[in-house]
Amino acid sequence: MPVTENARGPQEAPAFTLDHMSPPQSTKNLQSKDSKCLNGNSPEPSAVENPKGITGFQTLVHLVKGNMGTGILGLPLAVKNAGILLGPLSLLVMGFVACHCMHILVTCARHFCHRFNKPFMDYGDTVMHGLEASPSAWLQSHAHWGRNLVSFFLIVTQLGFCCVYIVFLADNLKQVVEAMNSTTNDCGYNETVILSPSMDSRLYMLSFLPFLVLLVFIRNLRALTIFSLLANVSMLVSLVIITQYIAQRIPDPRPLPLAASWQTYPLFFGTAIFSFESIGVVLPLENKMADARRFPAILSLGLSIVTALYIGIGALGYLRFGEEIKASITLNLPNCWLYQWVKLLYNVGILCTYALQFYVPVEIIIPLALSRVPERWALPVDLLVRLVLVCLTCVLAVLIPRLDLVISLVGSVSSSALALIIPPLLEITTFCAEGLSPLLIAKDVLISSLGFVGFVVGTYQALDELIGSRGSLSFPNSTIVTQ
């Protein structure tokens, strides 16, 4: 996931190597098919040539890896919650809609860049100017609320990612430690593993806290580049090994339901939209491109690749493990040293990514805190805010140790708002004065309404599951059966 100054955003794994681009925040350009939605009123490209910018291929790489985090590992369970047919089809539709909403955001940002003669417009400023352009006097007078709302959702989403990372780290390390006495060098046979009891998973979470504190005390974004590189390499190697394993010896898929119960579908929605949440990456990426006019095509290509990966890993993982699939597919890997090292390698990647994701809310909150204290207290207050926030994410992770439900809850609450609800409404307020066709308005209202339904139902279902599991001291993530 990536980040650039004020442009950040949620999404599972940042690509912080530009200036960093952490998930939500955006900067896009347009000149793509989505500009048809504007009745031909597509604004002129605002940024044209940036000799020091990144190439189209680099942009594509950042866009794809900006979507690669813990969310992709939870997609097999998400497909189980939707059904072996309905799940992949829903991922395809969701990928198309998410890509379209990103194009909408780019179009609106370009429109205001052109109007105000600015080279760059982040997500929050775009929403603020969109409200100022609406015909409602009340919305115009409260336009700053839009920017604050986006900042709030960015903070919630990014801190939510950090909570997910802590739960993921604890689950994987706990499983490796408990299965260590039974771990072999032979990955080719089936065996039920009897785990050796160890610490409660919540104690594993607390054990990571000192390392996380040291990581977040790194205040220079450029210094985090090495961690970004390490995270990307370790997660890429892990994903390749995981994919080659789950693609082998797939059992008869006929016993699997084509469509699961409607009661579990909201959990699928939350996990899926959590994985697709890279809308904050687009605007910073476009702003960094040497030739921003190529960005719309690269965006479509990147999201197509990401959607194909999600469908492939989600469907193959569920086909491979069926009803035994766990909150993260790493927890289903065989009990041999190769796959134990894969879990540890992915843990290294997620641990490094935590600092990058954490950078986003810190860059929003710390300036507000520093503006209220004397300059001599700047450094202590800066470090104190970082310490409080990292402890907060750890406490929340301890309170909600179910990885699948944390992912679904974060996705339903904030990712759906940033990726599905806000962009369509932004298009209506931005271009309403120029005349919009009833069909385009209906399309935007439909997307936003579906996002809102997913927001409400997904949040309710995740909270209901969490409350129902509060009394249990044994968490399903920690059991293992080698395949």
Could you tell me what percent of the chain has a pLDDT over 90? 25
Task: Give mean pLDDT, residues 351-365.
Answer: 83
Contact, 437 vs 471, CB < 8 A? no
Contact, 30 vs 110, CB < 8 A? yes
Residue in the structure block whose two tokens are 């039920």: 192
Contact, 459 vs 413, CB < 8 A? yes
Task: Give mean pLDDT, residues 120-143.
Answer: 89
Q: What residue type is assigned to position 199 of the chain?
A: M
Please state which of the ranges 299-303, 308-312, 345-349 shows the lowest mean pLDDT: 345-349
Please report the pLDDT score of residue 194 as a whole number.
56
Give the span between the Cα atoms of 344 and 341, in whole angstroms.
Answer: 5
Task: Give mean pLDDT, residues 182-206.
Answer: 70
Residue in the structure block whose two tokens are 């007078």: 141
Q: Return the half-sphere exposure (C-beta side, CA atoms, 13 A cut-off) of residue 231.
A: 30
List the one residue out of 75, 54, 42, 98 whose CA is nearest residue 309. 75
Q: Is 342 exposed, middle or buried (0-12, 13-18, 19+ CB in 10 A)?
A: buried
The pair of three-digit structure tokens given for residue 126, joined into one six-digit string: 């775009």
Digit-coded pLDDT (tens) for 321-338: 888 888 888 888 887 888
Q: Distances in Å between the alpha carbon of 471 and those of 261, 327, 408, 409, 479? A: 24, 19, 20, 19, 18
Stronger pLDDT, 257 or 20, i.e. the higher one: 257
Contact, 350 vs 211, CB < 8 A? no
CA 57 to chain CA centroid, nearest Å:
22
Give the span between the Cα atoms of 24 and 154, in whole angstroms.
Answer: 6
Helix (H) or strand (E) run with residue 366 in it: helix 337-370
Q: Distances in Å between the alpha carbon of 460 and those of 356, 413, 456, 464? A: 29, 10, 6, 6
Digit-coded pLDDT (tens) for 252-306: 888 888 988 888 898 898 888 888 767 777 887 788 788 888 889 999 998 999 8
Helix intervals (H) in 117-224: 123-132, 137-141, 143-178, 201-216
pLDDT of 479 higher than 80: no
Give the span between the Cα atoms of 157 and 411, in whole angstroms.
Answer: 8
Count, residues in the chain: 483
Q: Is 461 exposed, middle or buried (0-12, 13-18, 19+ CB in 10 A)?
A: buried
Stronger pLDDT, 409 or 258, i.e. the higher one: 258
Using 50, 70 and 90 to split pLDDT, how confident is the model at 460? Answer: confident
Angle at 269 between CA 263 and CA 270, to 5 degrees: 105
Give the span between the Cα atoms of 125 and 111, in whole angstroms.
Answer: 12
Using 50, 70 and 90 to split pLDDT, how confident is the model at 64? Answer: confident
Backbone angles phi, psi at 416, to 5 degrees: -65, -35
Helix (H) or strand (E) run with residue 284 in it: helix 279-288
Cα torsion 311, 317, 322, 327: sign:
negative
Please state which of the ranges 118-132, 220-234, 262-276 shows the lowest mean pLDDT: 220-234
Please report the pLDDT score of residue 255 as a whole number.
87
Q: Angle of helix 86-116 relative to helix 295-321, nearest 10 degrees?
A: 160
The pair of three-digit structure tokens given for residue 281, joined into one six-digit string: 């990456």
The domain segmentation of the chain, as residue ranges, is 3-470
Kindly report the number of other CB atoms within 10 A of residue 470's CB atom: 10
Contact, 161 vs 393, CB < 8 A? no
pLDDT of 193 higher than 50: yes
Task: Give mean pLDDT, residues 342-356.
Answer: 84
Using 50, 70 and 90 to split pLDDT, how confident is the model at 105? Answer: very high
Average pLDDT, the chain: 79
Could you tell me what percent of the chain has a pLDDT over 70? 81
Digit-coded pLDDT (tens) for 378-392: 889 999 999 999 999
| Structure-derived torsion over alpha carbons of residues 420, 423, 425, 429, reported in degrees to the nearest 10 | 180
Phi-psi region of 194 (alpha: psi -120 to 50; beta: other; left: phi over 0): beta
- CATH code of domain 3-470: 1.20.1740.10
pLDDT of 471 higher than 90: no
pLDDT of 69 higher than 80: no
Give the span between the Cα atoms of 216 and 224, in whole angstroms.
Answer: 10
